[in-house]
Every structure is written in C-alpha cells, then in structure tokens.
Amino acid sequence: MALMKGAIIFFVQIIGCMRLVTGADNNTVNATLGHSVTLPCVTKSMPQLHKQHMRVYWQHSLDHSSEPKVIQMYNNGDLDKKFQDPLFKDKAQVILEEIEKGNFSLTLYSVQESYQGIYQTVFMYKSRKTLDCTNQLYVGADFSKPNVSVNRCVKPMESVEVTCQTWGGLPMPSISWISNNSSVKLGRVETKGHQDPNNKTYAVLSRLFVNASSGQNFTCSVFNPTLGTTQESSVTVLACPITKPPFPFGVSALVAIIVVVIILVVVFVIICKKRNTSRSEVRAPATAETQMLQSGTTAENHTGFLDIKIV
C-alpha cells in the first residue's frame, strides 16, 4: 500500500515537471478560515470527453520543495480515495458530472490554516497530459475590532502610551497609527503578535509612545493582507482636571505649631486660675481663726492687769 502510494505521488510529480510542454493555469486564491473555497480548474479546448480515457489527479504541498499530499484521484469514471491524505478526509469534493464536462475544480470545506499552500490539478486524456492547474491558496481570518486606550490624562503637552489590542485574525496584520487624520511620525511604535498553537490565529498588541496634548485623537488601523480588510478604532486624550495647589509643607507645619502653642497657653492659663482660686479659699478660714486667738490673748492680758491693780 505504501509502495503504491509512493509510486502515485512520484508519478504526479513527474507529470508536474512536464508543465513547460503543456498548457498551465496559475491562480492565487484567498480563503477565510472556517469557510469553504473552490479552487478553479477548467478546460474548454476539448468539448467532447470520454470518461474511459480520463485521468485526473489533485494534490497539495506547502511549497514546491515539499512532498505533495494526495487529495483525490479520478480514473476511468470513478473517484479513488484509497490514498487520500487524512487532512482532507470529508473536507474535499469534486463533482463527477462536472469532471466529464472538463470542470476539475476542487472545493474545500471548513478551511484550516494548514490548508495553505500549492494545489495542483493534472488532467490526462488518452495518457497524454492535457491540462495542469496550479492554485496558490492563502488562508485568512478577520481580526476583532481593535481595543484602543490611553494610559493617562495630560496637561498641556505630555508623553503618553496609547495601546491597541486585536485578536482572532490570520495572518499577522499590518498595524498603523493615525492622529487627527495624519500618520504618526514622531512617536515610537512597538508591535508584538502571539500565535495560538491550535487554530494558528494571532493576538496582537501595538503600543505607541508619543507626546500628546489634550483633545488629540489617535486611531489604530489593523490591515489584513490576505483578506484585504481593515479594522479601526480611536481614542481621544483627555485633559487632567485642574486642582488647587496645596499649601507648602513649611507653611502648613508653622500653622500647626501656632495652633498647638495657643492651645497650650489657654490650658496653662486655665490651670493657673484654678490653682489661685483654690489657694484663696484655703487661706481665708486660717486668718479668721488667727484673729480670734489674738483677740483672746489680749483679753487675758487685760484681765491680769486689772487683777494686779486691785491687789
């Protein structure tokens, strides 16, 4: 089985080398990821065809130097899928009725990124190569609408960072920046892409470092070279709100010290008044008692004097 498959691939490669002496049809086809695409191959030089004399081969390769993969074979009125590559199982179709009319177009379903490459269709009639069609297939996917943001507000003119994020597209896009309807020339741009290992789509981050003024508009443009589509989003730089400047630290500290000193003085005065009042209340009774004692002593003295006089 493997030997026969190798022989078939070798045979297709040999007849492919005969392109210089036979007719050839070359096309470039762009397909959208997950959609269907038809690779054209039609002959109009032979209006009357008999299927018992017809052989058609369809094969795929990444480039001219890689080994081709068998997609379909048509021989004497029947399709032979015995050597079909698993990548194209239930994903490739040709129509028998159209083959007999000279239409050898191949339709691919649910296109994957791995379908990109060269597709060759070789038509042989009565063992003679009559037509060789080559289709170069490119697969693309639309990117999401970019998410554009700016990292800060600005005063009259300041440096800002404007970011643009987009994802889900294929292949790696071309990113350009526009400000107020003209391309940005004075800024520095950094663009990086990360490819998903499963579906091969890209997530892209582009950063613009530029001096900007309030009210300035920036637009991020994402161009898909395969599909020829462009996605755009914009952002406007805002002015920072005006705030009253705070007191200098020295002035604030001085005011605080003055307030503290005033409070301490007031407290000191209040305490002194309370102490003076307490002392006055304590001294008043002692004075009265002293006066009474002094009055009693005088009376006694006077009495003694009288007693002496009488004697």
pTM > 0.75: yes or no: no
User: Is 147-236 assigned to CATH 3.30.1950.10?
Assistant: no
End-to-end CA distance of the chain: 173
pLDDT value at 307 more than 80: no
pLDDT of 229 reads 96
pLDDT digits (tens, 9 = 90+) for 262-298: 988 888 788 887 777 766 665 555 555 555 545 554 4
pLDDT digits (tens, 9 = 90+) for 90-102: 999 999 889 988 8
| Residue of 233, 235, 231, 177 lying closest to 202 (CA atoms) | 231
pLDDT digits (tens, 9 = 90+) for 221-258: 999 999 999 999 999 999 988 776 665 556 677 778 88
User: 102-133 burial, b for 16+ CB within 10 Å, e for fewer?
Assistant: bebbbebeebebebbbbbbbbbbbeeebbbbb
CATH value of 2-139 in 2.30.33.40, 3.40.50.300, 1.10.357.10, 2.60.40.10: 2.60.40.10
pLDDT digits (tens, 9 = 90+) for 108-166: 999 999 999 999 999 998 888 888 899 999 999 999 999 999 999 988 788 999 999 99
Q: How many Å apart are CA 260 and CA 256, to the nearest integer?
A: 6
pLDDT value at 308 more than 80: no
Same CATH fold assignment for domains 2-139 and 147-236: yes
Tokens of 249: 């630290």
Q: Could you tell me the residue ranges of all domains in the chain? A: 2-139, 147-236
